[in-house]
Amino acid sequence: MSTNILIVDDEEQYLRLMDINLRTEGFNVLKAKNGIEAVETVAKNHPNLVLLDIQMPKLDGFGACQRIREFSNIPIIIVTVIGKEQDLIRGLDLGADDYIVKPFSINELLARVRSVLRRAQTSASPFISGVFNHGNMKIDFTRAEVYCDDNPVFLSATEYRLLLQFARNIGTVLTSEQLLTDVWGPEYKEDKEIFWVSISRLRQKLEADPKNPQHIVTRSGLGYTMPLLE
């Protein structure tokens, strides 16, 4: 099955650069030049991945990411000239799966595209069948669905894969480096920023009190764990 990637950028040089290289690698490419076109294209065509610029007319990348996340968990990579930490965190916090800062090498772009697509594909394939329960949280592996107090919880592909790592290793303390390697890939081993934002987002979605988590607990100086419940 062909993989469709939507490129969203108002700069023609970047549209052309990414288009040519992605097609060379065998991907099908869709294009949009502003955030409104991006949202409409995702809703209509359901691509496998979005490469989303931030600074665009009509609706910027932050707004587009937020709107897409209202109806889709499609993987999103922020592609932006903005390299400020707070802007990158904002993009991740709105639900983006990864980011890359302009100017970038094509090899870096392709590596991140493959990594995000790989994570999304793995997340869609449950590692066991059945249901996992942890306090008020339930994971239905067969349907790849998560519930808290029987209410559905909407997770991105990366967030779901991160949660699976905790469920698979319940009671075990996992380091941030280990989780980054297992969930994102070895090339992300030192990318603590994307990890911290993802942990924070999971806690906001799963925990009754994110400041006093029960499902994803920090072990100071050691790592993180999903504790065994009595």
In contact, 202 and 192? CB cutoff 8 Å? no
Residue numbers of the domain that contains 49:
4-123
Looking at residue 125, its pLDDT comes to 47
Please give the structure tokens belonging to residue 90: 């904002």
Question: Above 80 in pLDDT, residue 86?
Answer: no
Q: What is the rounded distance in angstroms from the CA atom of residue 67 to the CA atom of residue 196?
A: 23
Q: Do 141 and 218 share a structural domain?
A: yes
User: Could you report the per-residue pLDDT of 96-144, keeping only the tens digit for each?
Assistant: 888 888 888 899 899 889 988 887 776 554 445 578 999 999 999 878 8
Looking at residue 158, its pLDDT comes to 83
Note whether residue 230 is domain-resident. no
Looking at residue 188, its pLDDT comes to 84
Domain count, the chain: 2
pLDDT band at 199 (very low <50, low <70, confident <90, very high): very high
Looking at residue 2, its pLDDT comes to 83
Looking at residue 183, its pLDDT comes to 87
User: Could you report the per-residue pLDDT of 20-72, keeping only the tens digit for each?
Assistant: 999 999 999 999 999 999 999 999 999 999 999 998 888 999 999 999 988 88
Question: Above 90 in pLDDT, residue 229?
Answer: no
Q: Which of 89, 115, 90, 88 has the alpha carbon at shortest distance from 102?
A: 88
Looking at residue 1, its pLDDT comes to 64
Count of CA atoms in the C-beta half-sphere (13 A) of 31: 15
Average pLDDT, the chain: 88
Q: Do 148 and 108 share a structural domain?
A: no
The mean per-residue pLDDT over the stretch 154-171 comes to 89
Note whether residue 141 is domain-resident. yes
Domain endpoint, select from 97, 123, 149 = 123
Residue 213's CATH number: 1.10.10.10
